[in-house]
Amino acid sequence: MGLSTLLTATSLNKSFGDLKAVRDLSLSVKSGEIVALLGPNGAGKTTTLRMLIGLAARDSGTIEYVDRTGKSHDSLPPAEIGYLPEERGLYIDRRVIDGLVYFARLRGRSKSEALESAQHWLERFDLWDRRADEVKTLSKGNQQKVQFISAVIHRPQLAIIDEPFSGFDPINQERMLGFLEELRKAGTSILFSAHQMDLVQRLADRILLMSRGELVAEGTLSEIRRRAGSGNAQTVEVEYQLPPDAQQLEQAPSNCRLEGNTVEMTVAGDQTINDAVHWLSSLGTITTMTTREPSLHDIYLDQLKESTT
């Protein structure tokens, strides 16, 4: 049985004067799904997210949201939505615990529910001992964590998160990855934007790629790979006992890169993996060989290049 559709946006359009920020964009999020909205700066991602939650009025298009009871709405009910904006903002003179309880109560949770949820997330982020401190005394990274907690403390059905990894060091980016998975397991669907392709590739069930206000690719990573075609070919990496002759590499049937004893070849055009391996075997004695599919980063760059030419 397939997942039910939680959110559907159809033919969204938004202009700012002569600038067409979002063009005829449609998307959906299913229950229990994590969807990544990707694109370069200025692609229209933040405008799209803001339209979905009503912070930016859409010029045209429709939004349908299905709540926990199965009732449809033409906007997203605040009590069922968690939103982490790109422009962070907290009540910095409040104690951490007081601010979090306030946000949860604002979205319909009882005081006891708010306190329970605040304790859960503060403990998960190793901030429970700082609960009585004013927000302004926290480091920037810890303020980011409190901002995230404030967006999800009411246990929303859908979390819309703009740049969840922004401002975090690699260790805390990894932790955030785990917290987003934890949210999903607790019943929250997630729509998020991000620039960290390696993290997106590990987290997202589906990917939506925007360029110049339009959706240029969508689907699972495997589906996008298949549709991308030869522009996102496999790569073969071969290590030799001795460095191969650089002049021989000039005769390679496709693009090659030499580094020490290792050659990396992109399988392109009508060439197959077997063709590449056969040619590479002629260069010397191979000690190791690996192949890899194009990464989300590779596909991202290739699709954006196509959409801007």
Query: Does residue 303 belong to any structural domain of this protein?
Result: no
Query: Does residue 90 belong to any structural domain of this protein?
Result: yes
Residue 287 is part of a domain; what is its CATH number? 3.30.70
Token pair 């926290």: residue: 138
Q: Is 83 helix (H, G, I), strand (E, B) or coil?
A: strand
Residue 220 to residue 207: CA distance in whole angstroms: 6
Alpha-carbon torsion 73, 79, 83, 87, what sign? positive
Check whether residue 157 and residue 256 sit in a common domain.
no
Check whether residue 57 and residue 193 sit in a common domain.
yes
Check whether residue 223 and residue 240 sit in a common domain.
no
Query: Does residue 25 belong to any structural domain of this protein?
Result: yes
Which two tokens mark 264? 């990396």
**pLDDT tens for the 309 residues of the chain, in order:** 467 999 999 999 999 999 999 999 999 999 999 999 999 999 999 999 999 999 999 999 999 999 888 899 998 888 899 999 987 778 899 999 999 999 999 999 999 999 999 999 999 999 999 999 999 999 999 999 999 999 999 999 999 999 999 889 999 999 999 999 999 999 999 999 999 988 999 999 999 999 999 999 899 988 887 776 544 567 889 999 999 988 888 888 888 889 999 998 878 667 787 888 889 999 999 999 988 777 787 777 777 766 555
The per-residue pLDDT for range 160-204, each reduced to its tens digit, is 999 999 889 999 999 999 999 999 999 999 999 999 988 999 999
Contacts of 166 (CB under 8 A, 6+ apart): 86, 144
Bridge partners, 95 (sequence order): 134
Please say which residue of 227, 242, 265 terminates a domain.
Answer: 227
- Domain holding 252, by residue range, is 234-293
Q: Is 257 helix (H, G, I), strand (E, B) or coil?
A: strand
CB 225 within 8 A of CB 299: yes
Question: What interhelical angle do 111-124 and 96-106 show, nearest 10?
Answer: 130
pTM, two decimal places: 0.79
Check whether residue 272 and residue 220 sit in a common domain.
no
- The total number of structural domains in the chain stands at 2
Check whether residue 70 and residue 174 sit in a common domain.
yes
Query: Does residue 298 belong to any structural domain of this protein?
Result: no
Check whether residue 37 and residue 96 sit in a common domain.
yes
* pLDDT in the model for residue 306: 63
8-state DSSP, 294? P
Residue 78 is part of a domain; what is its CATH number? 3.40.50.300
The DSSP-derived string for 170-223 is HHHHHHHHHHHHHHHHTT-EEEEE-S-HHHHHHH-SEEEEEETTEEEEEE-HHH
CB 26 within 8 A of CB 9: yes
Query: Does residue 304 belong to any structural domain of this protein?
Result: no
Q: Is 144 helix (H, G, I), strand (E, B) or coil?
A: helix
Query: Does residue 150 belong to any structural domain of this protein?
Result: yes
Q: Is 99 helix (H, G, I), strand (E, B) or coil?
A: helix
Residue 48 to residue 291: CA distance in whole angstroms: 37
Check whether residue 97 and residue 145 sit in a common domain.
yes
Please say which residue of 227, 243, 275 terminates a domain.
Answer: 227
Check whether residue 16 and residue 143 sit in a common domain.
yes
